Homo-oligomer: A and B are copies of this chain.
Amino acid sequence: MASFIFRRQLTIEWGQCDPAGIVFNPRFFEFFDTSSWLLFEQALGVKAQKLAAAYGIVGIALVDARANFLKPAKFGDTIEIASRVSEFRRSSFDVEHKLTIGGELAVDGAETRVWATRDKNDPDKIAAVAIPGDVIAKFAVG
């Protein structure tokens, strides 16, 4: 069974590029973070800013991020980011972000996130809890 894919297109801005004229790497992690929010918004049908309240969580907390930079993206380039949950586990899941330029893979990104609530014993900490089955079900397509 396939997993729902969220796609969006962006045009690279002047201020997102460094003196080499290419996107400064932290910007890709910004793109991926926003794509993860939008992926959940689209799959669950709940506005990103209302997700936490709707599910009684503090958020989908990031525990790991990684990216492989294959081709540079330059000012004015149109990029497409295709994002999907590649695996759901009990309380954590992986998001895959494929960033392409003209159909060619330019950045291969991935995140690991947890379904997070506030820790009952220490409100300053978060605790990973089981992802509801109906959340996972909404990502299944086909």
By secondary structure, the A interface counts as: mixed
Interface size class of A (residues with CB under 8 A): 20 to 34
Distance between A85 CB and nearest chain B CB, rounded to angstroms: 18
Task: Please tell me if the beta carbons of B64 and A76 are within 8 angstroms of each other in the complex.
Answer: no
Q: Give bound CA distance, A26 to B27, whole Å.
A: 7
A47 sits at the interface (CB 8 A): yes
When distances are taken between beta carbons in the complex, the residues of chain B under 8 Å from A64 are 66-69
Interface residues of A (CB under 8 A from B): 13-15, 17-21, 24-27, 29-30, 33-34, 37, 47-50, 58-59, 62-69, 74-76
Query: 11 pairs across A/B with beta carbons < 8 Å?
Result: A13-B30, A13-B33, A13-B34, A14-B18, A15-B34, A17-B18, A17-B19, A18-B19, A24-B33, A26-B29, A47-B76
